[in-house]
Amino acid sequence: MLNSCLSPLSRPVTGLGTLSLSILQTASRTLLPSMDMHPAVYDVSGSGPLGHFFSLSISGGTAQVPRLSSGQWTITVTAKNKNLQGIGQGSGVVAILPSQISSLAISIAALSGNGTISLTVLLPSGLVASTLSATLAPSAGTAIPLAFVAGASDATCYNPFIPSGYYTISLRLIDGGTLRAEAVDIIRIVGQGMTQGVVNFSSATDPAQPIHVAVTQPANDSIAVTLQGGVTPIVQGTSMTVSASPSDGICRWFLDGSEIVPTAALGPTVIVSATPAGKHRLVALVFSADGLHAGSASYDFVATPAISTAGPFDFGVWMQYPTHIRNGSTMTSAQEYKSIGINLFVGLWGWPDESGNYIGYNLDSAQALQASGVKAFAGNNLAAVAWNKAHPEYASTFTGYILGDEPDMNQKSGDAATAAAAQPDAWLSAGTTLSSADPSKERYANFGKGFALDPWNGYTAVPGSTQLDDFNKYVGATTLFSSDLYGITDPYEDLSVHGIWAYGRSVDNNRKYAGSKAVWGFVESSAPFSDTNYAPGATNYIAKRMLAQYIAPAVWEMIVHGATGIVYFPYDFSTPATGAVDGMLAEPGMSAAVKAVADSVTTFGTVLATPTILGAIATSSGAVPVTLLVKHFGGSTYVFAMGDGNSSNIYGLAVTAHITIPGAGTGTVQVVSDSRTLPMTDGTFIDNFNPYELHIYKL
């Protein structure tokens, strides 16, 4: 509908022009006024020269108004919802030129003036000395405190004097000095309108587990805010870097209802430390520079408590005899392994039953280990607990128990006793019994291809259960664990799952079930399969024997992927060795390779023992990734970076990587692994990697 009035002194038609009008609707978001904020119709009016005016109503966002007198016009637009309630207004000035189309874009903003907030908070029962605090904070300016009236089971706030605009609303329920619940989000107040909502804190009944409530309601025409970089679960004491998008506005960050300050220095990226242990919520509130747009997003995460492991870094060897002296050696097994960097025996055969050895074997073994400075995980039953309690003089030598090996592969064993012990419930029960009898020591287990190749087609969940439940039971009684897939020598799996990268993938798969538990790497160091296991002419393996040249990249591959200890499988099952327990000591070059990698890792042992810093990014130029492990120690940041592989590139590839460390700034990077320096700009530096090559950087 178009109404207009022309003065008798109006100009002739040849002096008339046309207005092309575009209406821009500002976006609404989150907790909204109770009225419908979707514009259904726009009332447009204009006043021009010589008292001329027009008015019209349109349902779309554009219109053309012809036959307007040339000169300056003031245009006003009022947005109304389907109930014809005014929800926004805007105006602009345009010069109409004769016989031309003049364009004008008008932005619609919320109606000015004061609006009303009506908020109800549902409270939990059993509060002792509680305080409910709440504020409305504009994108700039002074926060407005909200006063609540307490009822029997809720608290209410009604305030009709809130200036229109977008606000951050923050609510925190404190009881007895402990945070019980919190909520943070964005709220919109519209002049002459009411914004109302209900926040449900009623389930916050456990003081040890505060709840985090989302205030957000469905928004009109909302612009999505997304978060990247979140990690859950995250070990207490570590950190993660989280970024908000879009990144060109004013960003405010809240952790568990409290603002992270100083806000102005944070911008769209924040580093969050995972402390204390428990559930947490990170909220990003993003405002446009003009304050007319706003959006929010939240990320819930869990911080798990860190547990002590057996040492800053352990190199173990699987199931050995400490007193054994091999042919051609003058040292005991404990002494010889210690000389090449092994500091842990993972399992002692039959321990503590001497029937398979000789009377006095246990004390001889304990003395040999203690004299060599080598620790042991030994025994998986109450007899082992009893032996440890009877011999406190060896408490620092026997630091853990070994729950068993490969239950995920033995649950269908042809041996009935083996299969029964490998069932998830039986395994968990045995481990829990051991833990209850002696909670002071580590409880280690090694798993098989079910974990290492997860998902592996050789594992079937227990009837009525799931693989996830089964694996959680396997892990449940451990404090640390590993899994074995022999990436060089395995004769059964497809070639695509072989290669150095396979050792890192095993660690990654284990970490899916680990929570706060330590994950170790497991690698062969001799010939773990009989020659008869390899089909004639088969090509689905890299070598029948582990080669010394693969040891360093395999070990560092596992460490960079998160392993905090390494276990070697030293057995030689090839013909004619047929089961030499210490075969790795006879492998050409193997002892030197094992010692060299132990020395290199030990050089950075203190650094590797620090919490991992998350959020670093490596962008590879090729079809394989570059994997990063970032640590902070002594005021410096250390980056362990390794060219990786995948199922299509089992031998790796040469690539160039752009490595970005958030917050690192501009400067020089020391390449401590090979005495070079690299330039760094805004936290990013560039380096080249040969296949499975390790670089260690210091920033």
The SS3 of residue 370 is helix
Same fold, 2-110 and 314-448+459-472+511-603: no
The count of other CB atoms within 10 Å of the CB of residue 320 is 24
CA distance 647 to 21: 58
pLDDT-derived band of residue 603, with 50, 70 and 90 as boundaries? Answer: confident
Q: What is the pLDDT of residue 9?
A: 29
For the domain made up of 2-110, the CATH class stated in words is mainly beta
The pLDDT score that the predictor gives to residue 135 is: 87
pLDDT of residue 139: 67
Lowest mean pLDDT among 14-18, 58-62, 375-379: 14-18
Residue-wise burial string across 328-362, b where 16 or more C-beta atoms lie within 10 A, e elsewhere: eeeebbbbbbbebbbbbbbbbeebbeeeebeeebb
Buried b (16+ CB within 10 A) or exposed e, 585-623: bbbeebbebbbbbbebbeebeebbeebbbbbbbbebeee
- pLDDT, tens digit, 9 for 90 and up, residues 233-244: 565 666 777 888
Helix (H, G, I), strand (E, B) or coil at 596: helix
> 599 versus 266: which is more confidently predicted?
599
Q: Where are the domains of the chain?
A: 2-110, 112-217, 314-448+459-472+511-603, 617-698
Q: Which residues contact 374 (CB under 8 A, 6 or more apart)?
A: 322, 334, 337, 338, 342, 343, 344, 345, 397
Q: Which amino acid, one-letter code, is at 359?
A: I
Lowest average pLDDT, out of 121-125, 215-219, 281-285, 565-569, goes to 215-219
CA dihedral 388→393→399→400, nearest 10 degrees, is -10
State the architecture of 314-448+459-472+511-603 in CATH terms.
Alpha-Beta Barrel (3.20)
Q: Are 582 and 600 in contact (CB under 8 A)?
A: no
Angle (CA) 146 151 153, round 5°: 110
Q: Tell me: the pLDDT tens digits for 609-664?
A: 999 999 999 999 999 999 999 999 888 899 999 999 999 999 999 999 999 999 99
CATH level 2 (architecture), domain 617-698: Sandwich (2.60)
Per-residue confidence at 80, pLDDT binned at 50, 70, 90? confident
Which is nearest to 164 in space by CA: 138, 132, 203? 138
Give tens-digit pLDDT for 534-579.
999 999 999 999 999 999 999 999 999 999 999 999 999 998 776 6
CATH topology for 112-217 is Immunoglobulin-like (2.60.40)
- Per the model's pLDDT, the better-predicted residue between 698 and 295 turns out to be 698
Q: What confidence tens digit (pLDDT) does each residue in 400-424 have?
A: 999 999 999 998 888 899 999 999 9
The residue ranking higher by pLDDT, 446 or 50, is 446
Is pLDDT at 16 greater than 90 in this prediction? no
User: 516 is written with which tokens?
Assistant: 């706060």
Beta strands 101-110 and 149-150 are unpaired
Give the long-range contacts of residues 462-470, CB within 8 A, separation 24 or more. 462/411, 462/423, 462/424, 462/425, 465/424, 469/424, 470/408, 470/424
Angle at 574 between CA 571 and CA 579, to 5 degrees: 40
Q: For residue 60, what pLDDT band results from cuts at 50, 70 and 90?
A: confident
For the chain, percent of residues with pLDDT exceeding 90: 56
Q: What is the rounded distance in angstroms from the CA atom of residue 564 to the CA atom of residue 541?
A: 27
- pTM (2 decimals)? 0.58
Distance, in Å, from the CA atom of 170 to the CA atom of 259, rounded to the nearest integer, reads: 9
In whole angstroms, give the CA distance from residue 530 to residue 89: 83
In this structure, which amino acid lies at residue 599? Answer: D
Model pLDDT, residue 401:
97
Q: What is the pLDDT of residues 172-210, one digit of tens each?
A: 888 877 888 888 877 888 777 788 888 888 887 766 556
Give 690's DSSP letter. Answer: -
User: For residues 107 and 291, what is the distance between their CA atoms, to the nearest angstrom?
Assistant: 13
Asked if 548 and 589 touch (Cβ cutoff 8 Å), the reply is yes
Inter-helix orientation angle 424-437/467-476, to 10°: 20
Two tokens, residue 395 = 């408490």
Return the amino acid letter for 254. Answer: F
Terminal Cα distance for the chain, rounded: 69
